[in-house]
Amino acid sequence: MSDEQDHSTAAAVAVYVGAMCNPNESVRLRAVRNLGQVEQGSVRIDAALTTALHDPSYVVRGTAAMTLGQGGRDTGLVAPALIEALKADPHEEVRWRAAEALGGLSDTDPPALAALIAALEDPDEEVRGNAAISLGWCGSTSGSCISALIAALADRDEWVRGRAAFALRTLGSR
């Protein structure tokens, strides 16, 4: 990348980060989406996106979670923020996007696995289903992960049961 491109990328990032403080939800949402497209591996972008997980709008928070699940992120910064969103966000869409995002990270650490296992008990079926799928993507064959997925095969929701079965097949093919 040339110096001119570096400068224009830095300027764009500054504009998008500033736009995340705008009172208009649509502006903040567009800023989050644009930050996700600028570049990966930037601590400044990852920090801005993790901050967006606390936005007043669940749409912005959910989009931030989804964006953070893209590869190339600073896992040490991103994973704890996604775990917090998965455990504590009041809106189910943010929780299921956080569960999905955790499965998209290349390095899934023990706290993330524990949060995904706990999310199999979430009241929302999409959160439970995405937690199951993410456990399959993570590739952990630990006893607690396998046991939790086997227990999810008895979930009250057919979609969750199917996701748990898929995750177990995914783990079995590794």
Structure tokens at 134: 């993410």
- Say if residues 135 and 146 touch (Cβ distance below 8 Å): no
Q: With 70 as the cut, is the pLDDT of residue 42 above it?
A: yes
pLDDT band of residue 172 (cuts 50, 70, 90) is: confident
Percent of the chain with pLDDT over 90: 75
Amino acid letter for position 20:
M
Q: Which domains does the chain have, with CATH numbers?
A: 1-107 (1.25.10.10), 108-174 (1.25.10.10)
Higher pLDDT, 109 or 144: 144
Look up the pTM and report it.
0.92
As a whole number, mean pLDDT of residues 53-77 equals 92
Name the burial class of residue 96, with classes exposed (0-12), middle (13-18) and buried (19+) by CB atoms within 10 angstroms of its CB. buried
